[in-house]
C-alpha cells in the first residue's frame, strides 16, 4: 500500500493547500497503477545504494556503429565482450526520437529512436548492466505531439507550455546559453504566443504549474523504472520552475519537485537512484542532496573536470588539494558524488567561479582553442558574455605542452588525470570517448555547425576493434591502461563511496595525495601531475613503510618514493 504523506507534503509546498488536492487527484491513478504492476524491491534499503564496484560508462546509443546492425546491438556486443569486468552500469544518453540537440529535444518520451534500435535491445543490455536513463524533464521538442496538441487547443495539454508577454522584464533570469529566452508560436486558433525556451527555440519548456502535465511526467518517470532504469538523471533540473521576477534557477519549488520524485520512488522503487544534472558552482550543486535522504542520492561533481585540467596544465596540485580538502565531504551514507571528467557536453567552467580568477578561466579557454577545440559562452544579466564550457575532448585537452600529441607520454598524462578521478569519494564515471582515447571530431563540427559535436563522434566498431588489437595504437594504449586501472580499483574496499577520505598535504605542489580508509582497508594514493620526476617523502605524509604499490606490484621499503612524470602509486 502506498503511503502518501511525503508526496502530499511536497504537493502542498509546490501548489498550496487547494492546488495540492487537485495535483494529488491527478497523480494517484498513475502511482496506484504502477504500484499494482510492480513488486517492491528492497535493495536500496538493505544494502545501501553504493559499492566500490560501481563504475558507470556514458555513451550515446550510436557511439559505436556497424554496417547492417542496430547501434544499440553493436553497443551490446562490444560491452558484453570487453566491458563487463569494468562497468557496473551504462548510461545511454537520450535514445528517444528527437528533433535536435543530439537527443535532448525529445519528440516522444516513451519510444526508442528506431535508428538506434527497439526497447528489446535496451532491455537486453539491462540484463548484463544496470541502466541509467535521462528524464529530460525541463523541456520537450517543439515538434512533439504534445506541443502539437497544445497548439491545437486540446484541453488536456492546455497547461503544457509557459506563455509570456514579450514585453515582460526577464533580465534577472539565469541564462545557460546566449540565445533568446522566448520563441513565438502560433496556435491553431490564430493566436500568437511567446513560449519559454531556455535552451533553444526547438525546446519548449514544460510547465510544472499544471498538475495534468506533472502527472504525465511522473508517468514517464515510472515507465523508465519499469523498463529497467536503476539510475534516473534529472536533466537540466535547476531551471525547472519559472517565476517571473526571480533568477529562475534553484527555486524552492524546483527542490520540492526533486523531493516529490524521491518520495514517489522511495514508495514504489526504493532501489532507484536519482542524480541531478546542475552545471553550477559547487555549493549550488550539492544543495540537491537536500538533507541527505530526501533529494538526490548523487550529484555530478562539476568542479572536478575544469579544476583537474587546470591542475595538469599548471603542473600544480595545490588548488585541487585545497578544494578536495574543503568540499569533498559527504554527510550522509545515502549520498555521493558522480565523479566524471568528460561527458557528451564540453568541460563546463562555471563551477570554477569563486575558485579561479576570470583571467585564469580565459587561459583555459585559450588552451582549448590551441588544442583544436572551441569555447561556448553564456549571456550574463548585464548583457556581457563569459565562457560557459570548453568544447574539446578531455584527451585533446590533456595534450602535453611542447610535446607530440598521441604518443605514450600523452596517453600517460591523460590516464593520470583519470586516476585522480578514481580516488575521490564517489562513483567514477567514464565517457566512452575517454575510454577509447578519441581525439577531437573536427569534421563532425563542420557537418553540424555545433561546437559540442567535437566530443560526439560516431565510431565504426570494426575499426575500433582493429585499433584495440594493435597495442601500439594510441587508442589501445589508453584503453588498456584505463581498463587495468578500473579493474584494480574495483577490488579495493577502501574505494567504497562511503569509505573515509583524507587529503595528504605534501611539500611538493606537483603531487596530489589522499588516503582512503574503511571496510577493512587503508589505501594511500599519490599522483605526480607534472612532467618531471618527483621524490616524495612518505614519512612526511604519515605513510608507513612496507606497503605494496598495487598498481606496479612493488613493495615500498624506503621512506621515500620516486614518481616518474604522470605516474600514480596506490599503496596498501
DSSP string, 48-67: -S--TT--EEEE-TTSEEBT
Please list the residues that pair with 299 across neighbouring strands: 276, 337
Amino acid 389: pLDDT: 94
Amino acid 506: pLDDT: 82
Amino acid 39: pLDDT: 56
Could you report the per-residue pLDDT of 329-364, keeping only the tens digit for each?
998 999 999 999 999 999 999 999 999 999 999 999
Cell 577520505 belongs to which residue? 501
Question: Strand, helix or coil at 501?
Answer: strand
Domain 500-571 in CATH 2.60.40.1180? The answer is: yes
Nearest-CA neighbor of 271 among 33, 4, 27, 47?
47
**106/418 Cα distance (integer angstroms):** 32
pLDDT average, residue stretch 273-291: 95
Q: Residue 486 is placed in which grid cell?
A: 578500473
**pTM for this predicted structure:** 0.96
Q: Is 428 exposed, middle or buried (0-12, 13-18, 19+ CB in 10 A)?
A: buried
Question: Does position 135 have pLDDT exceeding 60, yes or no?
Answer: yes
Amino acid 357: pLDDT: 95
Higher per-residue pLDDT: 411 or 39: 411
**410/400 Cα distance (integer angstroms):** 6
Query: How many CA atoms within 13 Å lie on the side-chain side of 252?
Result: 6
- Whole-angstrom CA distances from 29 to 7, 211, 228, 400, 413 are 14, 13, 21, 58, 54
Question: Does position 40 have pLDDT exceeding 60, yes or no?
Answer: no
Identify whether the C-beta of residue 350 lies closer than 8 Å to the C-beta of residue 338: no
Domain limits, CATH 3.20.20.80, in the chain: 1-138+210-297
Could you report the per-residue pLDDT of 187-199, keeping only the tens digit for each?
999 999 999 999 9
Amino acid 38: pLDDT: 74
Q: 139-141 and 203-205 as β-strands: parallel, antiparallel, unpaired?
A: antiparallel
Domain limits, CATH 2.60.40.1180, in the chain: 500-571
- DSSP code of residue 206: P
**295/255 Cα distance (integer angstroms):** 8
Indicate the average pLDDT of the chain.
95
Higher per-residue pLDDT: 371 or 44: 371
Nearest 5°: phi and psi at 120?
-60, -35
Query: How many CA atoms within 13 Å lie on the side-chain side of 207?
Result: 18
Q: CB-based contacts of 363: which residues, under 8 Å, 6+ apart?
A: none
Question: Does position 370 have pLDDT exceeding 80, yes or no?
Answer: yes
Residues designated catalytic: 235
Please list the residues that pair with 525 across neighbouring strands: 514, 570
CA geometry: angle at 63 spanning 60 and 66, to 5°? 135
Amino acid 385: pLDDT: 83
**CB atoms < 10 A from the CB of 550, how many?**
16
Per 3-state DSSP, the chain is made up of helix, strand and coil in percentages (nearest 5) of 40, 20, 40
Identify whether the C-beta of residue 296 lies closer than 8 Å to the C-beta of residue 278: no
Nearest 5°: phi and psi at 185?
-130, 155
Helix axes 461-468, 474-489, angle to 10 degrees: 80
**CB atoms < 10 A from the CB of 545, how many?**
13
Amino acid 44: pLDDT: 44
Of the chain, the percentage scoring pLDDT greater than 90 comes to: 91
pLDDT average, residue stretch 272-286: 94
3-state DSSP of 388-448: EEEECCHHHHCCCCCCCCCCHHHHHHHHHHHHHHHHCCCEEEEEHHHHCCCCCCHHHHHHH
Question: Does position 464 have pLDDT exceeding 60, yes or no?
Answer: yes
Question: Does position 97 have pLDDT exceeding 80, yes or no?
Answer: yes
**8/102 Cα distance (integer angstroms):** 36
**240/18 Cα distance (integer angstroms):** 22
| pLDDT-derived band at 386, boundaries 50, 70, 90 | confident
CA geometry: angle at 511 spanning 510 and 517, to 5°? 160
| pLDDT-derived band at 378, boundaries 50, 70, 90 | confident
pLDDT average, residue stretch 517-537: 97
pLDDT average, residue stretch 289-317: 97
Question: Does position 454 have pLDDT exceeding 60, yes or no?
Answer: yes
**131/227 Cα distance (integer angstroms):** 9
Amino acid 179: pLDDT: 86
Question: Does position 46 have pLDDT exceeding 50, yes or no?
Answer: no
pLDDT average, residue stretch 16-22: 93
**CB atoms < 10 A from the CB of 446, how many?**
9
Question: Does position 42 have pLDDT exceeding 50, yes or no?
Answer: no
Pick one of 3.90.850.10, 3.40.710.10, 3.20.20.80, 3.40.50.720 as the CATH number of 1-138+210-297: 3.20.20.80
374-379, strands of its sheet edge to edge: 347-348, 385-391, 374-379
Amino acid 273: pLDDT: 98
Amino acid 48: pLDDT: 82
Amino acid 47: pLDDT: 64
Q: Is 326 exposed, middle or buried (0-12, 13-18, 19+ CB in 10 A)?
A: exposed
**Lowest pLDDT segment from 29-38, 182-191, 486-495:** 29-38
Higher per-residue pLDDT: 377 or 456: 456
Could you report the per-residue pLDDT of 199-220, keeping only the tens digit for each?
999 999 999 999 999 999 999 9
Q: Is the dihedral of CA 497, 512, 344, 218 positive or negative?
A: positive
Could you report the per-residue pLDDT of 473-525, keeping only the tens digit for each?
999 999 999 999 999 999 999 999 999 999 999 889 999 999 999 999 999 99
Question: Does position 1 have pLDDT exceeding 70, yes or no?
Answer: yes
pLDDT average, residue stretch 410-436: 98
DSSP 255-301: HHHHHHHHHHHHHH-TTPEEEE---S-HHHHHGGGTTSSSS-SEEE-
Radius of gyration, CA atoms only, the chain: 24
**Lowest pLDDT segment from 371-385, 408-422, 500-514:** 371-385
Please list the residues that pair with 91 across neighbouring strands: 58, 132
Q: Is 127 exposed, middle or buried (0-12, 13-18, 19+ CB in 10 A)?
A: exposed
Amino acid at each position: 500500500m502506498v503511503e502518501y504523506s511525503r508526496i502530499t507534503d511536497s504537493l502542498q509546498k509546490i501548489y498550496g493547500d487547494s492546488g495540492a488536492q487537485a495535483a494529488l487527484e491527478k497523480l494517484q491513478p498513475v502511482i496506484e497503477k504502477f504500484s499494482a504492476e510492480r513488486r517492491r524491491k528492497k535493495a536500496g534499503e538493505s544494502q545501501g545504494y553504493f559499492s566500490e564496484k560501481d563504475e558507470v560508462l556514458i555513451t550515446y546509443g550510436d557511439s559505436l556503429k556497424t554496417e547492417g546492425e542496430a547501434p544499440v546491438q553493436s553497443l551490446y556486443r562490444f560491452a558484453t565482450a570487453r566491458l563487463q569486468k569494468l562497468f557496473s552500469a551504462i548510461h545511454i544518453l537520450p535514445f528517444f526520437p528527437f528533433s535536435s540537440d543530439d537527443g535532448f529535444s525529445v519528440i516522444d518520451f516513451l519510444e526508442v529512436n528506431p535508428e538506434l534500435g527497439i526497447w528489446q535491445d535496451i532491455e537486453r543490455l539491462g540484463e548484463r548492466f544496470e541502466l541509467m536513463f535521462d528524464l529530460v524533464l525541463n523541456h520537450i521538442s517543439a515538434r512533439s505531439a504534445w506541443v502539437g496538441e497544445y497548439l491545437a487547443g486540446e484541453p488536456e495539454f492546455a497547461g503544457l507550455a509557459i506563455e509570456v508577454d514579450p514585453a515582460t522584464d526577464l533580465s534577472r533570469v539565469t541564462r545557460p546559453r546566449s540565445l533568446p529566452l522566448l520563441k513565438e508560436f502560433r496556435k491553431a486558433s490564430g493566436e500568437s504566443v511567446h513560449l519559454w525556451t531556455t535552451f533553444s527555440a526547438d525546446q519548449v519548456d514544460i510547465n510544472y504549474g499544471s498538475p495534468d502535465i506533472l502527472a504525465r511526467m511522473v508517468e514517464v518517470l515510472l515507465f523508465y523504472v519499469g523498463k529497467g532504469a536503476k539510475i534516473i538523471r534529472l536533466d537540466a533540473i535547476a531551471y525547472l520552475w519559472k517565476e517571473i521576477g526571480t533568477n529562475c534557477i534553484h527555486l524552492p519549488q524546483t527542490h520540492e519537485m526533486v523531493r516529490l520524485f524521491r518520495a514517489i520512488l522511495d514508495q514504489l522503487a526504493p532501489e532507484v537512484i536519482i542524480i541531478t544534472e546542475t552545471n553550477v558552482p559547487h555549493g549550488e550543486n550539492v544543495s540537491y542532496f537536500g538533507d541527505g535522504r530526501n533529494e538526490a542520492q548523487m550529484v555530478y561533481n562539476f568542479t572536478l573536470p575544469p579544476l583537474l585540467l587546470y591542475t595538469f596544465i599548471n603542473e600544480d596540485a595545490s588548488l585541487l588539494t585545497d578544494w578536495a580538502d574543503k568540499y569533498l565531504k559527504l554527510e550522509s551514507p545515502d549520498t555521493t558524488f558522480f565523479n566524471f571528467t568528460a561527458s557528451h557536453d564540453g568541460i563546463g567552467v562555471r563551477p570554477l567561479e569563486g575558485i579561479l580568477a576570470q583571467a585564469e578561466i580565459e587561459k583555459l579557454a585559450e588552451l582549448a582553442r590551441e588544442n583544436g577545440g572551441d569555447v561556448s559562452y553564456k549571456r550574463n544579466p548585464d548583457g556581457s558574455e563569459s565562457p560557459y564550457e570548453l568544447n574539446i575532448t578531455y584527451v585533446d585537452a590533456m595534450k602535453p605542452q611542447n610535446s607530440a600529441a598521441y604518443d605514450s607520454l600523452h596517453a600517460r598524462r591523460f590516464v593520470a588525470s583519470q586516476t585522480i578521478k578514481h580516488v575521490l569519494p564517489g562513483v567514477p564515471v567514464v565517457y566512452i570517448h575517454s575510454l577509447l582515447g578519441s581525439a577531437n571530431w573536427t569534421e563532425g563540427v563542420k557537418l553540424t555547425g555545433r561546437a559540442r559535436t567535437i566530443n560526439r563522434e560516431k565510431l565504426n566498431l570494426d575499426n575500433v576493434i582493429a585499433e584495440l588489437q594493435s597495442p601500439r595504437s594510441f587508442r589501445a594504449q589508453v584503453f588498456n591502461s584505463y581498463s587495468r586501472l578500473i579493474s584494480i580499483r574495483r577490488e579495493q574496499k577502501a574505494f567504497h563511496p562511503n569509505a573515509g577520505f583524507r587529503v595528504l598535504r605534501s611539500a611538493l605542489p606537483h603531487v596530489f595525495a589522499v588516503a582512503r580508509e574503511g571496510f577493512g582497508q587503508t589505501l594511500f594514493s599519490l599522483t605526480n601531475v607534472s612532467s618531471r620526476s618527483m621524490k616524495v617523502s612518505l614519512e612526511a605524509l604519515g605513510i608507513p613503510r612496507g606497503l605494496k604499490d598495487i598498481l606496479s606490484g612493488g613493495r615500498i621499503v624506503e621512506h621515500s618514493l620516486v614518481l616518474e612524470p604522470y605516474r600514480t602509486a596506490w599503496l596498501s
